Amino acid sequence: MIQVIVGENESLDSALNRFRRKCEQAKLLQDIKRTTHYVKPSEQRRIEARKALRRLRRKMQKINQLSS
């Protein structure tokens, strides 16, 4: 459970920002999105393969831009 203690002289906005950062660091939102519905293992493999292909394409584009 993520907790943020608001200091005496701290604004609510800065406390909210700290809370958001802690949620991002804990990957809370990603975990919730991942577990909201069931994904078959075969579908999960396809999704991961697509993600890997996108990463590879981005990396190749970056390399091509640097070399030209």
Span 48-61, pLDDT tens digits: 999 999 999 999 99
Do residues 32 and 62 share a domain?
A: no
Say what the pLDDT of residue 1 is: 83
Do residues 2 and 28 share a domain?
A: yes
Number of domains in the chain: 2
Say what the pLDDT of residue 68 is: 74
Do residues 46 and 62 share a domain?
A: yes
Residue percentage of the chain with pLDDT more than 90: 75
Do residues 21 and 45 share a domain?
A: no
Quote the CA–CA distance of 37 and 11 in Å, as a whole number.
37
Do residues 23 and 47 share a domain?
A: no
Do residues 45 and 61 share a domain?
A: yes
Does the predicted model carry a pTM greater than 0.75? Answer: no
Do residues 42 and 59 share a domain?
A: yes
Residue tagged 């190749």 (tokens)? 60
Domain span at residue 8 reads 1-37
